[in-house]
Amino acid sequence: MPRGRYSLHDPHDHTPLGEEHFHCAPGPSGWRYVSRRVGPSGQQTGTLDLALDELGRPIRLELHTADWQVRGAFLDGVTWVRTDPSGMQADEGTARAHSFTGTSPAFLVATARLLRLTPASPATRVRLVAFTDPVLAPRDTDQSWALVNSEAHATDNGPLVVDEYQVSTLDTGERHTVHIAGDVVLAAPGIELEDLEDPPSVFP
């Protein structure tokens, strides 16, 4: 079960945004990722519990910040409920999208798992619902993913396969590179893997 810590920063001006402490593991029904986020001063700023089925679809999303929370799942597209901590303000939403995304590295692994690209695959378009920090406002976004390289690196625990993806955000034209090994993001804009206690899990 990989367990570790990501450092997070603004990908444009590199302002530190804090850290995400996580553990994740594949299971008989898919994959689960649990994390807590702390700000630069050390205070907890949010939590995430994401579970995928064997096809990479989100069967449970629970996302919390200090003032808002979202619960969602895949159901004929994606569906979610966004509430304040008291539960008095509740907004339901649905979208003809493939999955969710956000600032957590977990969403990059989830999208890669959903698409299951090979280096021979053409660039694949995917529609996601993004929840923006800190108010978790939902926003539809279209991305294009391509697996441009997959390379095995020798380690003490055997070969580690690192996949390099080129990800384009179609509504803004932004393009960036994401490196993923198994169920761990090694590097991506605004994300650095700082500590990892166990090797990444290999999906079947």
Residues spanned by the domain of 27: 3-198
pLDDT in tens, 50-98: 999 999 999 999 999 988 999 999 998 999 999 987 777 899 999 999 9
pTM: 0.95
Q: How confident is the model at residue 130 (pLDDT cuts 50, 70, 90)?
A: very high
The pLDDT assigned to 157 comes to 75
Nearest-angstrom CA–CA distance, 4 and 123 = 31
Residues of the chain above pLDDT 70, percent: 100
- Three-state secondary structure call for residue 154: coil
| Cis peptide bond prior to 122, omega within 30° of 0 | no
173: CB partners within 8 A, 6+ apart: none
Place of tokens 């080129």: 166
Q: Residue 106: is it exposed, middle or buried by C-beta count within 10 angstroms (0-12/13-18/19+)?
A: buried
Q: Which residues, in sequence order, are CB contacts of 183 under 8 Å at separation 6+? A: 2, 24, 25, 26, 31, 33, 109, 113, 200, 201, 203
Secondary structure of residue 111 in the 3-state scheme:
helix
Q: Report if residue 153 sits inside a domain.
A: yes
Q: Is residue 203 in a domain?
A: no
Domain count, the chain: 1
Q: Which residues contact 43 (CB under 8 A, 6 or more apart)?
A: none
Strands (E), 44-190: 44-52, 58-65, 69-74, 78-83, 90-95, 99-101, 124-132, 137-153, 160-169, 175-181, 184-188
- Domain-located, residue 17: yes
164 belongs to a structural domain = yes
Does the pLDDT of residue 141 top 80, yes or no?
A: yes
The yes-or-no verdict on residue 123 having pLDDT over 90 is yes
Cβ distance 162 to 132 under 8 Å?
A: no
In the chain, what is the straight-line distance between the N-terminal and C-terminal CA atoms, in Å?
Answer: 15
Going by pLDDT thresholds of 50, 70 and 90, the confidence category of residue 102 is: very high
pLDDT digits (tens, 9 = 90+) for 175-195: 999 999 999 999 999 999 999
What pLDDT, on a 0 to 100 scale, did the predictor assign at position 53? Answer: 95
Q: How far apart are CA 80 and CA 62, in angstroms?
A: 10
Pick from 183, 182, 134, 197: which is nearest to 5 by CA? Answer: 197
Residue with tokens 């096809």, as numbered in its chain? 55
